[in-house]
Every structure is written in C-alpha cells, then in structure tokens.
C-alpha cells in the first residue's frame, strides 16, 4: 500500500506521449482550504525556474487539472524542453465584481487563528500557490513566471498590482474588464434569474470605446503598483481586443515594463493549444511563433 502524507499529498502520474510525469498536489491557501495543481519539472535536481499556467475563471478541481495536463499539455512540453518547471493551477471560482467591490483583503488574528474581512479571491489563491512553490527545494523562488489566459490574464494584472514575488508575467487575451473598472454597454446584460452580469457576448473590440467606458482613476491606481515585466498578448478580430489592448496601453502610459503583441488566430487561448479529436495537438505556425515569443520573453527575465 502506498503511504501518503495527508498534509502534503503528492501523486505522480505519467503523461501520455511525454517523458515528463506530473505531480498532482494539493496546496493549502490562505484560509486553510486546498487548491489543486499539476506540477512538472525537467530531469535533475534543479533548482529550476517555474512558470505557472492559469486559464479561465476557476472551479472544477483536480479533474480539471488532470484534463489540462492531458489535453492542454503542449505549452508545458515546450516549457519543459526550455528548462522550466511548470504547473497548471486551479483556484476558487471567480466572484462577480468581488475584486472591484470587495476591497483589499485584511488579514488579522482572533483566538490565535485567522480572521479576514472577506473571503480570499481566486487571484489570492494563486499568490498562495506561488509562495508554496518557492519552498520546494527544486524550485528557484527568485525565478517565477506566470502565463494567464483570458480571466487568467486578468489575474496576472491583479496579482502583480499587489504582489512583487514574480519575475515576469504574460497576460494572454486578458479579460480585464473588472480590473479596468469597465462599465459595459448594452451588449452585456443582467441574468434575470441570478441578477449576475452576462458578458459572454459583450463587444469591446475597439480601444477607444473601451477607454471611454473605464474608470481611468481606479484603473491607474491599481496598475500603479505593478513593477513586474509583463507581455500582453492580443488576438486580431476578437470581440474583446479593445480590452486586451487597453490593458497594455494603461501600463505603457504609466511607463511600466510592458510589451504588446497580437496574433491572428481563430482559437481563444491560441497560446495554449489543445488536442484534436485524433489525439494530436492542433498547432499551426502562428501558435509555434507565439509560443516561441513567450518563451523568449520569459528567458529574458528568468534566465
């Protein structure tokens, strides 16, 4: 019988078609709950630079991690070949306007245990995971990078605004409407059953339109805290391209260390290729070039 340490659960599984297995782990976050991750590393003892991958708005647990490693592992393989440890992360579900309306998290002590003014949010789970990975002997805690896609890209901005333990970050197609304090137009609506906003079909493709609808004072105050080099990646003809571009322009206008690139591809999340129905990864030249650019950017800051 295999004996596991209940306080440090690590289950190692092979990854089909790869020489690099995955360590499935549960990481304690700030409120004592556990977030699942799938961590992979090159051969050897390290310490290795590490890149953390986040996509979407959270939830779904370890099953999501195992599926991502199996079917969204192409980017991991490229990172491993380049000498990086890497991990897919999962975190708690996004809270509608929780960041915008909840304010900074205040952590105190009552009766010897934690007391918070609100529940932690998903991006704060990622900060907790970063801090945990820095304790591992085969991870170089001074060389941590992030790649966040869509909501994960917005999380990059939230994290780097207040946490300065990341060496470089990539915000790919960042759905940063909340971070920018954007007021949607009538292409978004409120779900009558839940009273939560439905922004799935919101059209914000033009930067000027986005700029006119954000609270620049709020967005500027948030972004002023960033001192991490960031690569912002857009996608041509995306209905949120104006938000992606505005995320870059805000940082550029604040003289932050930021770069912009935009690619023409039909897949939302093109930098994280997926397996096709035939079991092979569907990767075209645009994706090869985009991923090469991401690794070049990371190399410039983590190596």
Residue 4 is predicted with a pLDDT of 86
Residue 182 is predicted with a pLDDT of 95
Residue 148 is predicted with a pLDDT of 98
Q: Looking at the 3D structure of the chain, how many domains does it have?
A: 1
Structural domain includes residue 283 = yes
The set of residues, in sequence order, having a beta carbon less than 8 Å from that of 15 and lying 6+ positions away, is 21, 22, 40, 69, 70, 73
pTM of this structure: 0.95
Residue 195 is predicted with a pLDDT of 76
Residue 2 is predicted with a pLDDT of 58
pLDDT in tens, 36-79: 999 999 999 999 999 999 999 999 999 999 999 999 999 999 99
Structural domain includes residue 1 = no
Structural domain includes residue 5 = no
Residue 201 is predicted with a pLDDT of 80
The set of residues, in sequence order, having a beta carbon less than 8 Å from that of 299 and lying 6+ positions away, is 82
Domain residues for the domain of 209 are 10-302
Question: How many Å apart are CA 200 and CA 219, to the nearest integer?
Answer: 22
- pLDDT lower than 50: segments of the chain: none
Q: ∠132-137-138 over CA atoms, to 5°?
A: 100
For residue 121, what are its two tokens? Answer: 């949010």
What CATH code is carried by the domain that includes residue 129? Answer: 3.40.50.1820
Structural domain includes residue 33 = yes
């Amino acid at each position: 019988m295999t004996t596991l340490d209940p306080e440090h659960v690590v289950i190692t599984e092979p990854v089909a078609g790869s020489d690099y297995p995955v360590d499935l782990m549960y990481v304690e976050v700030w409120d004592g709950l556990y977030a699942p991750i799938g961590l992979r590393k090159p051969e050897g003892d390290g310490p290795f630079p590490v890149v953390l991958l986040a996509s979407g708005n959270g939830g779904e647990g370890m099953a999501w991690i195992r599926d991502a490693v199996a079917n969204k592992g192409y980017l991991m393989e490229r990172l491993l070949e380049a000498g990086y440890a890497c991990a897919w992360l999962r975190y708690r579900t996004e809270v509608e306007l929780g960041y915008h309306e909840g304010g900074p998290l205040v952590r105190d002590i009552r009766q010897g245990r934690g007391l918070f003014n609100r529940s932690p949010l998903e991006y704060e789970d990622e900060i907790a995971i970063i801090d945990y990975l820095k304790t591992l002997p085969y991870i170089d805690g001074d060389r941590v990078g992030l790649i966040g896609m869509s909501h994960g890209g917005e999380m990059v901005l939230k994290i780097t605004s207040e946490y300065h333990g990341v060496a470089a970050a990539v915000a790919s197609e960042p759905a940063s409407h909340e971070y920018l304090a954007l007021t949607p137009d009538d292409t978004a609506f409120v779900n009558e059953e839940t009273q939560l906003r439905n922004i799935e079909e919101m059209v914000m493709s033009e930067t000027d339109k986005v700029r006119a609808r954000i609270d620049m004072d709020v967005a500027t105050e948030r972004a002023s805290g960033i001192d991490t080099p960031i690569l912002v990646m857009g996608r041509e003809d995306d209905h949120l391209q104006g938000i992606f571009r505005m995320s870059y322009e805000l940082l550029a206008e604040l003289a932050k260390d930021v770069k912009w690139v935009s690619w023409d591809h039909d897949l939302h999340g093109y930098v994280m290729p997926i397996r096709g129905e035939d079991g092979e990864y569907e990767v075209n030249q645009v994706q090869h070039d985009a991923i090469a650019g991401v690794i070049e950017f990371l190399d410039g800051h983590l190596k």
